[in-house]
Amino acid sequence: MKHGLPLAMMVALAAPLPLTALAQSQPAATPDYTLSGNLNLASSYRFRGIDQTNGKPALQGGVDLTTTRGYYAGAWASNVNWLADAGGGEISNSLELDVYGGYRRQLGDFGYDAGLLGYYYPGTYPAGFNKPHTVEVYLAGSWKMLTLKYSHAVTDVFGAPDSKGAGYLDAGATMDLAGGYALKFHAGYQLVPESLVNGRSKSDCSYSDWSLGVAKEFAGLNVGLTYLDTNAKGGAGQCYLNAFNKNLGRQTLVLSVGKTF
């Protein structure tokens, strides 16, 4: 062993490594999925520009499961009262529950997203009432700060009779500003098809909505202030007048504070 290693070194090299050393030498496995949650408090709940809480605050929250392969599923809920307001005491609903799943991918500056979303409104309804539960398929694309999404109803949309095939086109943009602020712009168009059975024309319940908002994180909370407006018809006898004679699509400011965890 003229040119060999000293005996003590040979013994050391032959001895098994401690478990801690083995653990440190191997990179931690990347989980196949991530689970996240969100909680939000808003001064009112607007969906596609239409008031869901008659100007009252909304407590909202959800959970999302996302896989490394691009598949995802989740659920989200908010208090609502537009159905109870319209029901004259015959409707007990006070909750919206959304359940969804889909597939999304990001390819450089481009992204795409396709999925299925169900809106459910648990409660009791009078006999013959067209329940508001709605199922939509959607397809979205993005490029840098721009997004475009189309949602297509495969059921009647939110209780409107004979409205299967309604669609919503949604365009948005997010611009990062100095100091951690973000400027958000949105414009959308809700199409509710005509109904010969109910005498509804295409223009009766179809409308456009738009919004402009600013958001920033403060002390770990996501704070946003958004101006919203629509041209939804909220006059006497029209689609978006509630039981308190308020136009559900009237312009407003919405303040929200949320947390993602």
In the block, tokens 């999302």 appear at 64
CA 71 from chain centre, in angstroms, equals 16
- Three-class secondary structure of residue 113 per DSSP: strand
Structural element, H or E, at residue 204:
helix 202-205
80 closest CA partner among 100, 63, 58: 58
Q: 186-192 long-range contacts, Cβ below 8 Å, gap at least 24? A: 186/210, 186/211, 186/212, 186/213, 187/211, 188/48, 188/49, 190/48, 190/166, 191/166, 191/167, 192/157, 192/160, 192/163, 192/166, 192/239
Domain ranges of the chain: 30-260
pTM score above 0.75: yes
The per-residue pLDDT for 255 is 98
Q: What letter would DSSP give residue 233? A: -
Each residue's pLDDT, cut to its tens digit, for the chain (261 residues) gives: 444 434 333 333 334 445 444 445 566 677 899 999 999 999 999 999 999 999 999 999 999 999 999 999 999 999 999 999 998 899 999 999 999 999 999 999 999 999 999 999 999 999 999 999 999 999 999 999 999 999 999 999 999 999 999 999 999 999 999 999 999 999 999 999 999 888 999 999 999 999 999 999 999 999 999 999 999 999 999 999 999 999 999 999 999 999 999
For 30-260, the fitting CATH number among 2.30.31.70, 3.20.20.70, 2.60.200.30, 2.40.160.40 is 2.40.160.40
The per-residue pLDDT for 15 is 42
Residue 225 CB neighbour total at 10 angstroms: 14
The per-residue pLDDT for 117 is 98
The per-residue pLDDT for 28 is 67
